[in-house]
Amino acid sequence: MAVLDAKSISIVFGGLKAVTNFDLKLEKGELVGLIGPNGAGKTTVFNMLTGVYNPTGGDILFNKAGEGAATKSIVGLKPFQITQLGIARTFQNIRLFKDLSVLDNVRIAFHFGVKYNALQGILRTPLFFKEEESITEKARDLLKIFNIHGKENELAKNLPYGEQRKLEIARALATNPKLLLLDEPAAGMNPQETHDLMHLISFIRDKFDLTILLIEHDMSLVMGICERIVVLDYGQTIAVGTPSQISKDPKVIKAYLGEGVETGA
């Protein structure tokens, strides 16, 4: 039932071993957190899973259906191919299409599923209008879920920070992923917004039948919603377990959490 199976992937930049023998198996429908101190290699793992970097060792297997074992290797594929297979992501430093409208941001993510080609677009065939109507409607539905549908004509850069984060998730969902990678979704949000985001993340997981892997520094969020947590330090996995196991793990406390952490929710 694995959706993703990363088998001891490593990457070396020059002489620096950024990530060493990282293993990760994601079961269908799981919500897993990836934590660790700054520079531990969390985003590098994301970049390897999404094809931005090619791992120098190991293999990444993906299984869109989520049934049986993951078999399709995605190592060597380009990011856009991996997205088309069903892995979508958001970015640590928000990467929206800033000067485009909120609606267009989402509609762009529908692009690879659109059935008409450029010529049919130029000639404005009936298929063009049909498809445009359908993706516009789907985009609006997504915006509604994130409660930003009232701002569909605003430029993405004019949204408040929290809504930009939400828009990025909405845009990632528009690619119809099976696996969603969220890179610090709560960064820059206030406690109330973080709290709402927690519910939203669990909600979309159920609604879109997703498997979610997220990087986050906000322990209330991580401990609150993740079913399993992987802890990275200096490119190596130092612990894997449930939130309560992780929060008591002496290695994790030493490397990352510090003494006297509260487990949040």
Partner 1 sequence: MKKNRFFNAITLTVTSASLYILLALLIFTGIIDEYNGQLLTLAGIYVIVSLSLNLITGFTGQLALGHAGFMAVGAYSTAIIIMRLNVPMIPAVFAGGLITAIFGLLIGIPTLRLRGDYLAITTLGFGEIIRVIMVNLEGLTGGAAGLKGVPPFSDSGDFILDAVIKFSWVYGFVIFTLVVVSNLIKSSPGRAIISIREDEIASNSMGINVPYYKMFSFTMSAFLAGIGGGLYAIYFGYLNPQMFGFLNSVNFVVIVVLGGMGSITGTILAGIGFTYIQEWLRIFKDFRLVIFGLALISVMLFWPKGLMGTNEISVVKLVRKYFFKNKNSDNSSSGSPASGESQSEGVR
Binding site for partner 1 (CB under 8 A): 50, 52, 78-80, 83-84, 88-89, 91, 95-100, 104, 107-112, 114, 116-118, 121-124, 128-129, 131-133, 135, 153, 171-172, 174-175
Least Å distance, CB 20 to partner 1, is 25
Instruction: Name which of 82 and 230 has its Cβ closer to partner 1.
Output: 82
**DSSP string covering 130-150, please?**
HHHHHHHHHHHHHHHHTT-GG
Which residues are bridge partners to 217 per DSSP?
Answer: none
Instruction: Name which of 27 and 154 has its Cβ closer to partner 1.
Output: 154
Sign of CA dihedral 218, 223, 228, 232: positive
Instruction: Name which of 29 and 121 has its Cβ closer to partner 1.
Output: 121
Least Å distance, CB 174 to partner 1, is 8
Least Å distance, CB 46 to partner 1, is 10
Instruction: Name which of 6 and 229 has its Cβ closer to partner 1.
Output: 6
Instruction: Name which of 153 and 192 has its Cβ closer to partner 1.
Output: 153
Structure token digits, residue 88: 């979508």
Strand 228-233, strand 236-241: pairing:
antiparallel
Instruction: Name which of 168 and 233 has its Cβ closer to partner 1.
Output: 168
Instruction: Name which of 84 and 236 has its Cβ closer to partner 1.
Output: 84
Q: What CA–CA distance (Å, rounded) separates 58 from 35?
A: 21
Least Å distance, CB 239 to partner 1, is 29
**DSSP string covering 236-259, please?**
EEEEEE-HHHHHH-HHHIIIII-T
Least Å distance, CB 133 to partner 1, is 7
Beta-strand (E) ranges in 14-122? 16-27, 31-35, 57-62, 72-73, 87-89
Q: What CA–CA distance (Å, rounded) separates 42 from 46?
A: 7
Least Å distance, CB 16 to partner 1, is 22
Backbone angles phi, psi at 44, to 5 degrees: -60, -40
Least Å distance, CB 49 to partner 1, is 11
Closest by Cα among 85, 109, 75 to 95: 109
